[in-house]
Structure formats: structure tokens, C-alpha cells
Chain A
């Protein structure tokens, strides 16, 4: 039985650390995991203690987890798990915002006492990372330099160089940044977490190259990560929130008169590259789809370069080439809408086969123009034609449109039909307030406070504003103070505090925190 339980534990931990085991040959793939082989070497009592600590760590109870890791190190100093426990103890200190302690008493201890352990390698890197997080860039650079020198073949070396590139960004040293990124993107092995980050770095390098007007270098950087048909999409559009593609960079360059020529040249280089990729005679659906994707990208590049006539020509040709395909209508109409040609866009939407989607798009274009009555009529139709809401939550959209149109009674009735509590209750209360039916609004907010604990701060704050709108300033002040006092760490308490200060010139707001909850 004992062995059975032990094996179960082993299996559980193995599942947790599977990624680590799969990359055992390259050392770590994640810095906070222990390999399966080493876990197997632990005695049962050690595993038991380690599991307690790990569970607490997973539950983000870092103070208790740190105590349990410390207990492990005290009880089983000679164990295979001791450096790991010390390493995780340091990670707990980081989570507890004690970064100096993590470096001096945590990671450095791992290196000093267990220099041959895998954790010592990870600790060497994490020392640099922790220094960087504290703003100590010279120490961070020194630590990363040690990592790259001593552990050149390990994953941490790649991570260290990625961080060095980021430090160069902070220090606005563009040349050093580009040089480090080039070395990483073209030469570094892509293993585990580092592999994903190097892939992202290839995008960053590409953006820098595009900004310099060097299309080929940028494309080559991305080509280390992506192959066609994805490469051309990444080249043109980049990746949202991570790096910019040629279209966005062109838009920026063209916007400034001194870089306009550079932007246009960049766009032209990208367009000619896309043309080169275009199969002369697409054989199968995949190739046809690729051709369409390339054509869209060309249209986007012309648009970014400030050549709407060219964009329009491409879309018109696509209308002919891909007769009756909804996505062409949709995309062309979307582009026209962006140029404030909503009537033309609506005509294109009207030619789509998917009527529900087309009607939804048309209705929204009316909302954008504040022609709410027209939009409402369409949304009402959609409630019956698309009762399963395959193309959108029409009930909610209709209710919101009523509210925007100032038809609060109809809006309340529509919100009551929605089932996304408590959002609909907030909207209902908001409509009551707009109609100056403060009593009903107060009732609705009170209902939220009672039923939805997590949204109670927001509801209580709105309740205070409602009292204020009803002319009950005293009650409003007391309610605002309640927000500060009951929910001191929330954004709502900050708003309540500000409102008390600014509107009522009241400095006694209560609230405040000095201890973690």
C-alpha cells in the first residue's frame, strides 16, 4: 500500500514536471522545476515534505511555502532535493518582494553550498534577473556575463543574453541591442522557455530592422522562426503586443515627412517579396488560401503606405477573383469603414451570404454613426433570425443600443432578458440613474452588493454616486467612506477617496492599509 501511494505521488509529480524531463538532456527547460530522475532519488519522507511546500507554492501562499522549504533544508540538508528547496525558498522571497534576501540568502547560498547542482546554474541566472528587477543594471550585467561565460551551453545562457538585450533597450543602446539580438536569433539554441523567447526576439529584431528600412534583414530574422505561409503574415502584421510588422512600421514612417520615403521603400520591398512568394498557378486549397492571404497583405501594405487607390484596386480585383466569398466583402467593407465610407461599406456587407453576420455588421455601422433607430430595427430582427446567437449576443447588443439611444425603459427591459449577471444589473441601475429613478437604482445596487461579493466595491461606489445624484450628500459621504473602509486595497476605494477630497473637501476618508490581508 505504502509503495502504491508512493508510486502515485511519483506519477503526480512526474506529470507536473514532464516538460522538465523531456528536456533533461539540455538541463532545465523551466527554472522552477526538478527533474524526474532527481525526484526519484528522494526518500519518501523527503517527498512528503517537498510536496507540502510545493502545494503551498502552487497556491501562492509564499510565506508558508518558504517556511516549508526552509524546513526541508534544515531536516534533509544532504538530500538531492536540498538545493531545489533552497532555490524555491529564494523564489518565495522574490514573490514576497524581498529581492535582496532572495539573492543573498537564497540563490547565492545554492551556488555556495551546492555548486554542482542544476539549481546552481539556474540560481546564477536568477541572481542577474533579480538584480535587473531591482534596477541594479550594472550588477545584473555582471551576473549575466558570468552566466554566459560559465554556462555557455545551457538554456540559462540564452535567457541571460535575452535579458542583456533588454538591458540594452532600457539603456537606449540600440547598437548593442541589435548585436545581442542578432547573435541570439541566428545562433542560439531554441530550448524550452528560452526557445519561445528567442522566437519572440526574432520578431523584435525584425521590427528594429524594418525601422531602419532594411526589409531583407528583418525578413531573415523572422525566417529563423517562421516558414511560409505564416512568414509573410508575420512580416506584414507582426504579432500583437509583441512586435510590429512592416505595415505598422510603414504607417509610422510615412506619418513623419522626414521618414516618408523610407517607409514607402520599405512597403515596396515587402510587396515585391510577397509577389515573389505568390504561386503562379495554385494547385490546391492550401495554395489558393495562401494566395488570398498574400493579396490581403499587399492591400494592407498599400494602405499603410498611403496609397488607397492601389488598395481599392486590389480589393476590387479580389471581388472578381473570389466571387461571393464573404471574407472579401467583410474585409473590403471594414477598410472602407476605416476611411469613413460607411454607405459603400454597407452595400458590400449587403452582398455577404451570411445574412446574420452581414446584418450585425450593418447595424454596428449605424451605431458608429449614432443612427440608433436603424440599428435597433436590425438587432430586433436578428433576435429572431439568429436566436442561437451564433454571430453575436444580440440581446445584449440591442439593450446597449437602447441605452445609447437614451431609450432607458426599453433598455431596462432588454437588459432584464440578458443572463450575464451582474453586468446586466449594473446596466439596469445605470439606466434608472439616467431616468433619475434613484430609488430603483439604489435597490439594484443593493441587490448586487448582497449577491455578488467580488463586485460589491464597484456597486457600493456607484451607490454612493446615486445618493449624491439624488441630493442625499450626507448619505453619499457616509457611503464613500464605507467604500474606503471596507475595501481599502481596491481601485474603488481610491476613487472614493479622491471624490471625497475633491468634491466635498473631506480629508477624513478612513481606509488605508499597512498589513497584507
Chain B
């Protein structure tokens, strides 16, 4: 009784450990956990544990267990030995991949991942073949002992050689082919599903159209209204009072000259040559860990800016603003990824190695751009520079000139507008091959976009909207140019 209770406890413990390990693998693959856990939240001293530490602990413990099982299995008979070794393979494999990832050996990691996957496939197939063969042998043995008895009802069990769908002739071959095909399909379906752990694949499409890369100019036409001229005879007996000479009315009429569409390319209507009919400009905020990515999120600023962008450019814009984690950026394929991500906050920016890789890939390979706004501290200023040094160490930040394209099109920005100069009075940019891959605004531009505009003067928030329009348009235009160049290259 006590032995069976002990055995049951071991099973429960084993299943729980397997569940923890599986969850850890899932979390690691999907970047689902924050990089740090603050123990202060648990009432402990204000220390933190990194998730890499948690991963390392779980993976290494599992690997040690796997190695121990592998070694211990030598004492058992072959079937049990191979079964134990098959189970031990998985923690060893994942631990090896994890270590390669931590050591930043990208090619080794990829090779290990691929080899392991192949190994997992073969192990599963081997056990399946063994089971099918075992059942076949049992059937043959039974037939020899009892003589063949034709089934009276339809057999559905796929492991039974007399399952009706295998037919009467060549049943063994049919069974083998069916089992192999079914197993392969199921294995790759599960593999594809696990590959999507970080979320569903999604697309970002630019609105179709075109437009000129030109500054919006306003012209004032002055129209003089010349009054009738009177020729007066001074000797006339008729009394006439001529109007004073200076009383000439001027009719001032402002006519906006920006009749051209805002965008890029030759398409019709405001939009982008690389866009599609269902495409829209979206405003996506980047979720990062360590700080307050959601500062004032969902209370107006982002949506106001998006609406203003739609109104001022005439382009199609989304109905709502959105946010995405760094890991979710991997779900966007190149050519259908967001041209711009908005990032704000005033605290820390903690990036894991994989997040740094994802952001680098987004900025350099997917032609993305970051619009970073200092939401309220000089600390955030240094955090931004530190983060960018991690992501693109080979690019140094420079002050963006006031006559740069990003400050001229579609609006001429004569002076950098800001609400509060948390990071100085100059905007900074990171440029690669003539393209800004990140624009950093040091003075809480988001507050000027928000409802009430933070109480700043009209000219300030108006300039902030204009700057926002410029940055969004710049990123989409550059993305559109890249798409067009890609399309031309393919042709």
C-alpha cells in the first residue's frame, strides 16, 4: 500500500516537473516573461531576479536530471532503457540550445535546434514503428495459436492489421504508409503550432496612393479693390465729395497651396506607392520591460496624433491605436511590418539579448523606425542612449538638423517644440545609409498631443502635431521607397 502511494507521489512529482519544464520552454521561446522580477512586490528586500536566471536554473536542473536518467537507464532492459533515454533526450537538447543561445553562438544554436528537431522526429517515429510491429507480431502469434478468425464487425483501430480501411491485400504496407503519413503530418502540425508561440503572424500594410515629398506652403494672395475713378470738374456747379485717396480696401485671402497629396510615389490619392487598398496608417506603441511603456497610454495622446495625421494628410488611418511587445515584432514579415513604433516612458528600459536582436532585426532588416519620446526624466534620456548602444552599437546618435527632411516635410519645423526639456532641447537621431532608424524627442511631445495639451500654448501643441505628422510620414515614405526598390529588384 505504502509502495503504491510512494510510486503515485513520484508520478505526481514527475508530471509537475515536466509541466514546469514545458512551461519554461514555452515562456523562453515566446519571450513571454519580463526580464526581471522585483522581489519587493513579494514583501522581500528590494532585489530582483532575472528571468535568464530562472531559465538557466530550470534548464540546467532538467539537463542534469536527463543526464542522470540516461546513465541510470543502463541498468534496465532494452525497451525501458530506450524509453528512458528518449525522455531524457528532450531536456538535454533544450539545455544545449539554451546554452548556445546564452553564449550568443547563433549558428550553433540554429544547428542544435534543427538537429534536435530531427532527433525528436526520429525518436517518435522509432517508437511508433516499434509499437505497430509489436501489435502485428501479437496478431500473427494469436493467429498461429488460434487460427485466423475473420472479423465480424468493422475494426477502426489503426494499429490493428485488419482495420477495414487497410483493405484485404497489402494491409501491412498500407498500415505502414498510413501510420508514417499521419505521424508526419501531426508532428509538423505541432511543430508549426509551437513556432507560433509568440503570437499569430500579422501584417502591416501602408495605405495605397502617392504624394510628393514637399513642404506644405501657404500663400497669401493680396487683391486690391480699386475704386472707381472720378473726373471732377472743379468749376462745376454740382457739389460732389470725392472719397479720400488712401481709402483703398485690401482683400486678404489665404489660400493653402498644398493641393498635392501627402505621401510618396505616383499613386492616386494621399498614400504610399508601396501600399495596398486595405492598408492604413497605424499608431503602434512599443511595450518594453523595466519601465512605464504605458505612460498615459489610452487616454488620448496616441489617438489624437493618429486622428490628426489622418486629417492633415488625408491618408487612411486606423480607428484605434495599438501596442505590441518586442517579441511580437517577430510576427511581422519583412515588407509587411510597421514602419514606425512609438516608444515613451520615464523609467528604465530593460532589454534581454533576444529583444536586442529582435529590435536590431526590426530596424535594420525590416526597415523599421523608432519614434522615442522622453516622457519625463533625464534618466530616461540616458536609458534611451544606452538601449540604442545595445541595439546598434556601430551607429552614434547625432543631433538632427532643423533643415533635415524629417523637419521639413510636410511641415517646416523652424524650432524643436517641446513641453518640458527632460533631455535637452535638441532632437537626436540614429542614421544608417541616409535613413533615420530612430528619432528621439527629448521633451515629452506626447503630452502636447494629449487632451488638454498639457496646458501649453497653441503654437506649441500645433508644432508638436506637425512634428508628429512629419515623423510618421517620413517613416512610411522611407518604407514605401524600400518596398518599391525591393519590387523593382525582384523584377
Which residues does A use to contact B, with CB under 8 Å?
Answer: 96-101, 133-136, 138, 170-172, 481, 484, 488-491, 493-494, 496-498, 501-502, 507-516
| B456 contacts across to A, CB distance below 8 A | 510-512
| B414 contacts across to A, CB distance below 8 A | 515
Query: At the interface, yes or no: B378 with Cβ under 8 Å from chain A?
Result: yes
Query: At the interface, yes or no: B35 with Cβ under 8 Å from chain A?
Result: no
Q: Which of A97, A138, A488, A502 has the most CB of B within 10 A?
A: A97
Picked from A97, A100, A135, the residue with its CB within 8 Å of the CB of B430 is A135
Q: Which of A98, A133, A491, A497 has the most CB of B within 10 A?
A: A497
A97 touches B419 (CB 8 A): no
- Given A135-B396, A512-B454: A501 and B376 interface contact (C-beta under 8 Å): yes
B394 touches A172 (CB 8 A): yes
Picked from A491, A501, A510, the residue with its CB within 8 Å of the CB of B421 is A491
- Given A135-B431, A493-B420: A507 and B460 interface contact (C-beta under 8 Å): no
Picked from B403, B417, B418, the residue with its CB within 8 Å of the CB of A98 is B403
| A493 contacts across to B, CB distance below 8 A | 420-421
> Bound state CA distance, A498 and B381, in angstroms?
13
B459 touches A515 (CB 8 A): yes
> Bound state CA distance, A101 and B401, in angstroms?
10
> Bound state CA distance, A484 and B457, in angstroms?
12
Residue of A nearest to B413 (CB): A514
CB distance from B234 to the nearest CB of A (A): 49
Q: Besides the contacts A97-B399, A493-B421, A512-B419, what 10 more A-B pairs have beta carbons closer than 8 Å?
A: A99-B401, A135-B395, A135-B429, A170-B394, A170-B396, A489-B421, A494-B378, A497-B454, A509-B447, A514-B464
Residue contacts A-B, CB under 8 angstroms, 27 given: A99-B404, A100-B401, A100-B403, A101-B403, A133-B398, A135-B395, A135-B396, A135-B430, A138-B433, A170-B394, A172-B393, A172-B394, A491-B421, A494-B421, A497-B419, A498-B377, A502-B346, A507-B450, A509-B420, A509-B454, A511-B419, A511-B454, A511-B456, A513-B418, A514-B457, A514-B463, A515-B414
B422 touches A515 (CB 8 A): no
> Bound state CA distance, A481 and B419, in angstroms?
12
> Bound state CA distance, A497 and B444, in angstroms?
10
CB distance from A60 to the nearest CB of B (A): 15
Query: At the interface, yes or no: B333 with Cβ under 8 Å from chain A?
Result: no
B376 touches A502 (CB 8 A): yes
CB distance from A353 to the nearest CB of B (A): 46
Would you list which residues of chain B between 423 and 474 have a CB under 8 Å from chain A?
A: 425-426, 429-431, 433-434, 443-444, 447-448, 450, 452, 454-457, 459-464
Query: At the interface, yes or no: B130 with Cβ under 8 Å from chain A?
Result: no
> Bound state CA distance, A508 and B456, in angstroms?
8
Residue of B nearest to A138 (CB): B433
How many pairs of residues, A versus B, come closer than 8 Å at their CB atoms?
A: 122
Residue of A nearest to B431 (CB): A135
| A497 contacts across to B, CB distance below 8 A | 376, 419-420, 422, 444, 447, 454
Query: At the interface, yes or no: B191 with Cβ under 8 Å from chain A?
Result: no
- Given A484-B420, A497-B444, A507-B447: A98 and B346 interface contact (C-beta under 8 Å): no
- Given A134-B401, A135-B396, A135-B431: A507 and B378 interface contact (C-beta under 8 Å): no
Picked from B394, B401, B422, B431, the residue with its CB within 8 Å of the CB of A97 is B401
CB distance from A444 to the nearest CB of B (A): 26
- Decide if the interface of chain A is mainly helix, strand, loop or mixed: loop
| B433 contacts across to A, CB distance below 8 A | 138
> Bound state CA distance, A491 and B422, in angstroms?
7
Picked from A98, A135, A511, the residue with its CB within 8 Å of the CB of B398 is A135
Query: At the interface, yes or no: B402 with Cβ under 8 Å from chain A?
Result: yes
CB distance from B32 to the nearest CB of A (A): 29
Residue of A nearest to B300 (CB): A507
| A491 contacts across to B, CB distance below 8 A | 378, 421
Q: How large is the interface on B (under 10, 10 to 19, 20 to 34, 35 or more residues)?
A: 35 or more
| B350 contacts across to A, CB distance below 8 A | none
A100 touches B421 (CB 8 A): no
CB distance from A224 to the nearest CB of B (A): 28
Residue of A nearest to B430 (CB): A135
Which residues does B use to contact A, with CB under 8 Å?
Answer: 296, 346, 376-378, 393-396, 398-404, 414-415, 417-422, 425-426, 429-431, 433-434, 443-444, 447-448, 450, 452, 454-457, 459-464
CB distance from A455 to the nearest CB of B (A): 18
Picked from B394, B401, B420, B452, the residue with its CB within 8 Å of the CB of A512 is B420
> Bound state CA distance, A314 and B403, in angstroms?
61
Q: Which of A172, A497, A514 has the most CB of B within 10 A?
A: A514
CB distance from B240 to the nearest CB of A (A): 50
> Bound state CA distance, A97 and B346, in angstroms?
27
| B419 contacts across to A, CB distance below 8 A | 497, 509, 511-512
| B421 contacts across to A, CB distance below 8 A | 488-491, 493-494
Closest 7 CB pairs of A and B: A512-B456, A135-B431, A497-B420, A512-B460, A508-B455, A514-B417, A99-B401
A98 touches B394 (CB 8 A): no
> Bound state CA distance, A486 and B253, in angstroms?
36
- Given A135-B396, A507-B447: A512 and B418 interface contact (C-beta under 8 Å): yes
Picked from B394, B459, B462, the residue with its CB within 8 Å of the CB of A171 is B394
- Given A172-B394, A497-B420: A97 and B425 interface contact (C-beta under 8 Å): no
A134 touches B393 (CB 8 A): no
| B404 contacts across to A, CB distance below 8 A | 99-100, 134
> Bound state CA distance, A135 and B395, in angstroms?
8
| B417 contacts across to A, CB distance below 8 A | 512-514
A511 touches B420 (CB 8 A): yes
CB distance from A245 to the nearest CB of B (A): 25
A98 touches B376 (CB 8 A): no
> Bound state CA distance, A134 and B395, in angstroms?
12
CB distance from A490 to the nearest CB of B (A): 7
| A97 contacts across to B, CB distance below 8 A | 399, 401-403, 426
| A101 contacts across to B, CB distance below 8 A | 403
A96 touches B402 (CB 8 A): yes
B454 touches A498 (CB 8 A): no
| A171 contacts across to B, CB distance below 8 A | 394
Picked from A98, A170, A489, the residue with its CB within 8 Å of the CB of B402 is A98
- Given A97-B402, A99-B403, A497-B420: A514 and B460 interface contact (C-beta under 8 Å): yes
CB distance from A91 to the nearest CB of B (A): 14
B457 touches A498 (CB 8 A): no
> Bound state CA distance, A509 and B460, in angstroms?
13
> Bound state CA distance, A501 and B454, in angstroms?
10
| B399 contacts across to A, CB distance below 8 A | 97, 133
| B422 contacts across to A, CB distance below 8 A | 494, 497-498
Picked from B346, B394, B398, the residue with its CB within 8 Å of the CB of A134 is B398
CB distance from A361 to the nearest CB of B (A): 35
